[in-house]
Each structure stands twice: as structure tokens, then as C-alpha cells.
Structure 1
Amino acid sequence: MSADAAGAAGTAGAGDLRVLVVDDQPLIRHSLRLIIDGEAGMAVAGEASSGAEAVAEAARQRPDLVLMDIRMPGGDGIEATRRIAADPSLAGTRVLVLSMFELDEYVDAALRAGASGFLLKDAPPERLVDAIRRTGAGESLFAPTILTRLVEEYLDRHAPVSPDGLSPLTAREVEVLALIGRGLSNEEITRELVISMGTAKSHIGSIRAKLHARDRAQLVIAAYEHGLVRPGAEEP
């Protein structure tokens, strides 16, 4: 464990979202730690400067979320993500990839490795904090430009889907699916439809089951496939 990791470990309080920060640049790790520790309800549980160190620290700290860089010495972030996602003892740990690079092969590799989201390092602090909270709460999250490209690429490779594909959904579930496709969080959905968080989660669980969707990213694709959201539509 690095000196930075030793200094960061043990700062999380009871009930905080515990984040493992992984980056080979000490200045970036320090900046991320300041942002995370400055937010209520979240704290840095540890730090790592390489992929191999990230795997070891994740096993030791059992964080709620790993904020993972991609290009690092000593094992890159993709392989580290794959190993963390494959570890049964870390089933409750989600990985949010934070990278300078918007390359399609990195995004695809990160998702295949088991990452729950992908955010660019030029994102403002408030978007980073929101991404950490949403990913930690079980949502899949992607930078808007990346999500749009992923969806459009998927639609280019697949034939249009019949509207009948949404027939198992209730009218309210179709509304919820459209909002998911627009990128709204669970909290934003509750405000938009004036429903409780429990009701929103129940609708989302039902939609996933009926559409056989593995995760929220697939629900976004379904919303685009069925014309509930237009590619390039303005972000809420």
C-alpha cells in the first residue's frame, strides 16, 4: 500500500459511501481525495497507484466503489476491473472508470470487464460527485457523449425493434423507461413523476425483468430502440 493509501485509509465514517481512488498520478489522487472527502456521505477508503495495487487494496478495504484510471504501470485499469468484478467477495463493489481518453476500445473493454460506468477526467467536480453517488447507488452511468455514441453504435448494428416489444410494460413503466433513456437518475424520476423512491425502484425492477435487461445501460438502449428517446436529444 502506498503512503497516500495509508494516509487515506480509515477516514470513512459509518454509513459513508467508501471510495477507493486509483490513479498513477499522486496529484490527481490528492485532488480526487479532496473532492470526495469534502462531500457529505462519502469518503476515501484508500488509494492505489497501479492496477495490481488496486486489486490488492480492493480486497483489503472492500470499498463500495472503485474510481479507476485506465492507463497505469503495474497492470492497467481494465485488467484490475476484470479481477475485481470476478471476485465473489467483492460482489458489492462497483467500478466507475475515470479516464482522459474517450476511445471506443477503452469504453468497450471497460464495460466488458465489468465496469458500471465511464466518466471523462475533464468532468466538473459536481458531475464527478453525482457519478459517484449514482454508481454507488446501483445505477449505470456514462459521460453523455460516450452514452450517445454507444447507443448509436448499437442501433447501427441492430435492426429496429417492433413497438410490440414494449407490450409487457404498463403505461407508467413506459414513462419510466423513457426517463431512464434520457439519463435521469432514480431521484430525478421520482420528482418528474411525483412518486416515491420505493415506487420508482419497483417500476425499474419490473421493467428490467420484463425486458430481460442485465443493467440500466441496456434499459437506455431499449428506450432508444423503441423510439422513446431520439439520439442526440438534449440532456435533461
Structure 2
Amino acid sequence: MNDVDEDVLAGRRRTWMVGGLLLLTTGLAWTLSELGIAPLGLLGLVTEPLAFIVFAIGLGREGSVTARHPVGTIALAGLGVLVVAQPLVRMMLNGMPMGEGPQASEQYAVMHQNVGIALDVTALVLAVVAAVAIVMAGVVPSPWRWLPVVALIVALIARALPLLRHGPLTMDALLTVLRTANLLNPLMLLILGAAAVVLAARSLSRLPISTVA
């Protein structure tokens, strides 16, 4: 990256370091939350959206991993906002009165399901757009720029694993699968955060970074 001037490099370095540390904190918080330290999940609800917004907007224009192209930037920042919005929406739904009548409980369950599907589809669309935007922007050097795509695939696998509950698994095997599924997303956040910190450190020491797509 010798052709990138120092101001550009500094903006990217700050973004990668701060965003990476936020993702590492998030991944650790979610991991420990899944392992039983539930209050740390609240920390993840703060640091994860902050990380996405930092990467989207950048600490300095040159730091944006989407090169501040509107669609990708909005998608990545929106994904961060959705991290907080999802549990809030579900909490509001849980607090709504069920209503009366023979079909009230069924209608309540259908509403919950439909809202959940809408949130999941929105998150998927935003994640796909953001991941593609990061690859296309070319700000993050290759092969690192492909990590969000890998993270998206892992997230889809994590969502699919619970479907195995309908298969011929023993209860112990099913519990192991579900625990694994719950830990995949925090693990990918840790990997993404570590990669960003490594990129920042390597740019600081001016070690060569591959930019070949």
C-alpha cells in the first residue's frame, strides 16, 4: 500500500483498530453471555452496533470500509442499528396484551412469528448488501475483504443448525449442536475483530499487505 498517502493510511488504521477492538469486545461479551454470564450480553448490544457504524462511516472519510458509497454504508450502519432494534421490538411484542377470544393466542403467536421473520429477512438483506459493498469498495485489502462474506455464510449455517432438532439426533447430540450454533456468531465476531486489529497493526509497522483480488 505504498501508493496510499499517510492521511489515508492513518484513517484506515484508526478505523480498523477501533472497530476491531469493539468487535473483539462484542465477541467476548456474547461468548461469555452464552456460557452463562448473561449481563455481558448488554455490553454486546452497545459495542456491536458501534463497531458496525465505525466501519461504515470510518474515523475519517478514508477509513470507511465501504468507501462511503451510500448503499453499502447505509446497509452496514443499518445492520448495527438492527442489533439493538431486534431485542427491543421483541420485548415490546412480549409486553403486548394477548387479547381475548378463542383465537387470540394463535393470532398472537402468528404475529410474533411474522415479525421475527421480517426482522431476520431485513438483517439478511442488509448483511448481504454490506458484505458485497465491502468487497467491491476495495478499501480492505484482499483476502481480508472476503471475511464478512465468510461471516455471513457462518451466520446462515448457525441459523440452519437448530433445524436438526427435527432429525434423528439424541437429546445430548442436539444440545451440543444448539450450543455450537449459539457460539458460531460470537466466534466470527472475534475473528473479524482480530483481523481488523492485525490489519491496523500491520499498516502501522508498514509491513506489506497483499492487495491482489
| TM-score under structure 2 length normalisation | 0.28
| TM-score under structure 1 length normalisation | 0.26
**Which protein, 1 or 2, shows the higher relative CO under an 8 Å CA cutoff with sep ≥ 6?**
2
